[in-house]
A and B are shown apart, each in its own frame.
Chain A
Amino acid sequence: MVIKVDRERCASSGQCALTAPEVFAQDEEDGRVVLLDEHATGPEVRRATTGCPTQAISSD
């Protein structure tokens, strides 16, 4: 499983960085998602994925 983020869709809500801070952070400039660990798994990653308001996080 590899996590993917779509920075074009991202609305910089910060939900992901709040839910799974080891996996997601926010760009200092525009707040868009930064993926820290594309191989991370677990309940936090799942919650961040479903919680994203713009469906910018996926994994395959």
Chain B
Amino acid sequence: MRAIPTDRGACPFDPPAGMADEPLSKVRLSNGDQVWLVTRHDLVRQVLGDTRFSSEIDGGFLDVPLHAVQPQPGMFIQMDPPEHTRLRRLLTGRFTVQRMQRLRPRIEQIVTERLDALERAPRPADLVAEFALPIPSLVICELLGVPYAERASFQEAGARLLTLTGTQEELEEAMMRLGGYLAELIARKRAEPGEGLLDDLLDSGLSDEELVGIAILLLIAGHETTANMISLGTLLLLQHPDQLALVRQSPEAARTAVDELLRYLSIVDVGMFRRASTDLELDGQIIKEGEFVTCSLAAANRDPALLDRPEELEVSRPKAPHVAFGFGPHQCLGQNLARLEMEIAYPALFRRLPDLRLAVPLEKVPFKSDMAIYGVHRLEVEW
């Protein structure tokens, strides 16, 4: 049985070589697990749209084998209906397209402040640390209602959680510390409610444990993902000056570009697993109860059946029904927030620093090829 493809040697912006060789096949993960790999767009939608392919699982990374779990309180990304539906519906009203627009002025302000800081930083500067990581972190603080004075330490705790290349114990320790802070924040909010998503949820019948779980989920799901899209998307556009010029031109063009960048880069690729809760048929094949399935979102988003010229980056094309945010009932809750952050960040960056360029050759850029979410560790830039 072949190993799951991981080699992006040919082009760092393309899916690993050989990913789309077969629409459905069994592959081996680095931890030795054997899973079904799904790469065709329609099949990926079929799997992710069917909750009999259960999300109640853990593992698949480092050396942890895939296994069924009882999800932690609040972690609805790992839940199946009806629990998943109950928790997600408490939040969906806070993430609507209309609602996100109300955050626009705050996001614009956060982006402006980060650009001010970036301009003061010594050159070359690391765009990841100075710009891409702080923006989503500060936006989540804003959304949750983390007080200003505590944002620096919240950001630091979040960053520690993300940059950990360490052991399972170190990860759990960082998680505990963040959980401790959030539990204490919620206690203070119960005494004196303020403005924010956590404050609004105080009376919704959720336990404090569930509230903490939800807050951690939003941070984990929304921080590195958005940061990686901002930095990797910038890097990609720097390689395509004609496309970059379009993004810089108008807010309309930047808005359209965001979904094409999401599709083209598909930074969440084979990291989301499902477990067949019963024998299920897929493309004429029986997936047996207890077997695990993963979908290559990157391969599905380059499927010629999805759109013409899938290999081309065309930031002005109409939005394709891509699966960069997943599909089905678990499709990204924060997608309209992520879109807004990107749609504001890219053109603001390219306008403020019209001479923005890489400070190192592309071959020297450290890509996150071994991580669950694709991106760059650092992006040294000049202007």
Contact = CB atoms under 8 A, between A and B. Distances in A.
Interface of A: 11-14, 17-19, 21, 25-32, 47, 50-51, 53-55
Contacts of A47: 318-319, 321
Given A11-B331, A54-B328, A17 B97 contact: yes
B49 A55 contact: yes
Interface stretch (B88-96, B187-195, B234-242): B88-96
Given A14-B335, A19-B319, A29 B93 contact: yes
Interface string B330-357: 1110011001000000000000000000
B98 A26 contact: yes
A53 B96 contact: no
Given A30-B89, A53-B329, A53-B331, A12 B95 contact: yes
**Tier of interface size on chain B:** 20 to 34
A55 B50 CA distance: 11
A47 B336 CA distance: 17
A53 B97 CA distance: 16
B13 interface: no
Given A26-B96, A28-B96, A14 B336 contact: yes
A11 B328 contact: yes
Contacts of B49: 53-55
Interface of B: 48-49, 88-89, 92-99, 318-319, 321, 325-332, 335-336, 339
A14 B97 contact: yes
A13 B100 CA distance: 12
A55 B336 CA distance: 19
A55 B98 CA distance: 22
Given A12-B95, A28-B96, A47-B319, 7 more contacts: A17-B98, A18-B319, A26-B98, A28-B99, A30-B92, A47-B318, A53-B329
B331 A13 contact: yes
Contacts of A12: 88-89, 92-93, 95-96
5 contacts: A11-B88, A31-B94, A31-B99, A53-B326, A53-B329
Interface hub of A19, A25, A47, A53 (most chain B Cβ within 10 A): A53
Contact of B93 (A13, A31, A53, A55): A31
